[in-house]
A and B are shown apart, each in its own frame.
Chain A
Amino acid sequence: MFKTIKHYGRVTLENLKMSILTTLEYPANMIGWLLSNPIQFLIGFATIQFVVAEFGTIAGWGYGQLAFLYGLSVISHALSMIFFVQGWFMGFYVIEGEFDRYLLRPMNVLYQFFFTGFNLIGITDLIPGICVFVYGCIQIEFEWSVYRVLAILALLIGATLIRGAIYLIIGTTSFFTKSVNDFGAYTQELFDKTTMYPLTMYPEGVQLVLTYLIPIGWVSFYPISELVGVANGRFAWQGAIWVTLGVGVLTFLVAALFFRWGLTKYESAGN
């Protein structure tokens, strides 16, 4: 067990090193993303600011609270981009036979799929996330404590896992459909619309679906509403932060099992 962890840890470090080297090979690429990604999220936040300025609150959430929610959402989005973005491109891997190589190496295939290349470009999403989050903290005069730091860490891990699991589940369908779909655009759309605003602004039917069927509510809305103490609808749970972590681990396990089943349907590519 210890040996296995050491093995995976060592390979992860080596992969990280190679990802850094690869990113440094193309500095212009990084600069391009560094300009475009933050702008995208800052404009998104500006929209919220406009709505709040016009109407006062959104579903009972004030301006600072919304910034807090938006900021943490973008941070977990950025983390999922760094670690799990490959899920978006699963169709390509399936059709092009890219899993061949992973299947030929003596390590877990899912581990290799996600961690052979770290997407360091994802860091460019982290910057606007942290900016808006810090801004929100100042606005609502968020009181920091050891417990709250741990809670936010747990929340981010859970949220990142849920996002990763959903990318993985959607991506795994490629094993069955055998088509090259770029899942990026519409998963991003789905997450943007549901994690960056209070869920209670949607009808209850939608809330129900996003709580139990697709557990997106747990990515940001439930745990953060508990953290900042805002009303969060009738489907909320007590201790939502820790539930988020549990939901994250659970959905990821389900996604991993689904992936494992999908992989047995893998047909490689001609020659």
Chain B
Amino acid sequence: MAVIQVEHLVKDYKIAKKGKGLKGAVKNLITNEKQVIHAVRDLNFEIEKGEIVAFIGPNGAGKSTTVKMMSGILTPTSGQVLINGKNSQKNRKEVVQDLGVVFGQRSQLNWDLRLGESFELLRHIYQIDKKQYEENLEIMNDILGINEIINTPVRQLSLGQRMRGDLVAAMLHSPSVLFLDEPTIGLDVDGKYAIRKFIKEINQVKGTTVILTTHDLGDIQELCERLIIINHGVLIEDGPLNELIDRIAPYKNLIVEFYDETCVKHPKAELFFHEENIGKYRFMKKDITAAQLIQEISEQIAIKDVTIEEATIDDIIRIAYHKE
């Protein structure tokens, strides 16, 4: 059975339509026209146990709204989310007992007190067995070195340290599902590295299912087998990263520098640029490999230098976002 089932999920917001200027403001008082914003429209997908899924989309695509419905914060307009077979609105308390959530932009730690106090409180809230709690802290210390900062007041932690604290706080009760909303936002290279390592390890050691939203393509590349892309509240892509790359950018470019201005054509590659001694070929990955193409060209004419261009993950995501 899937750990997370999202079925026909819809979220509409009603916002008051605002007229311009003083005249508009007076008119608003009388007419009170409402405009419906469709933040999420009929979303369907399932996530299996142990997956790490990147949930991405441009700003305002409905990512946060969806994550908030999945974690039981927002009530869907229609449709439902099942976590381990339970509805996250109707069985909120049961569902969240098995859920860890981290919002990169806000903290659940007590600002004024040492980090350890926040952990102690969570131990009581989630009724974590003392032995289990200490074991979990031990594991977290191995991965994130949390013992170094456990006695520091949260307000004195750096952003990276605070983020580590928040991750530990979310994992203390050994949830089977972890939602991370932009976990690496604003972090430096080391901070990002630590967070990614943590996600990988808890996924492997504890089999935790991880759903993360991010704008950091490095996160996706390093962590996620599967991508779910939404835009305008609609699911536009769902699948492994490699498949997406193959589908959106099934070609590579081979740039060849020759010794003079003569150039050759090749039946399996399109010569789309030729100026002076530079020739650019575009070929389908399924038709021919780069090595073969280079070899066949060099059999006809001497090659000085080659470069292979491939669509980067940035390109892929950009193309996916603009696809209708």
Contact = CB atoms under 8 A, between A and B. Distances in A.
Given A18-B113, A271-B181, A11 B74 contact: no
Contacts of A267: 13, 74
Interface in B97-128: 97, 99, 101, 103, 105-106, 108, 110, 112-113, 117, 120-121, 124-127
A215 to B, nearest CB: 31
A270 B73 CA distance: 13
Interface string B1-29: 00000000000010000000000000000
Main secondary structure of the interface of B (DSSP, over half): mixed
Contacts of A18: 110, 113, 117, 121
B126 A106 contact: yes
B177 to A, nearest CB: 12
Instruction: Report, as a range, how many residues of chain B touch the other chain.
Output: 20 to 34
Contacts of A10: 124
A21 B116 CA distance: 13
Contact of A14 (B68, B96, B120): B120
A105 interface: yes
A271 B64 contact: yes
B75 A264 contact: yes
Interface string A11-50: 1001100100110011000000000000000000000000
A100 B68 contact: yes
Given A25-B112, A105-B96, A7 B127 contact: yes
A271 to B, nearest CB: 5
A107 B120 CA distance: 16
B113 A104 contact: no
B73 A22 contact: no
B112 A105 contact: no
Interface of A: 7, 10-11, 14-15, 18, 21-22, 25-26, 97, 99-101, 103-107, 264, 266-268, 270-271
Q: Which 6 A-B pairs have the closest CB atoms?
A: A106-B97, A106-B93, A22-B112, A14-B124, A103-B73, A11-B124
Interface of B: 13, 64, 68, 71-75, 92-94, 96-97, 99, 101, 103, 105-106, 108, 110, 112-113, 117, 120-121, 124-127, 181-182
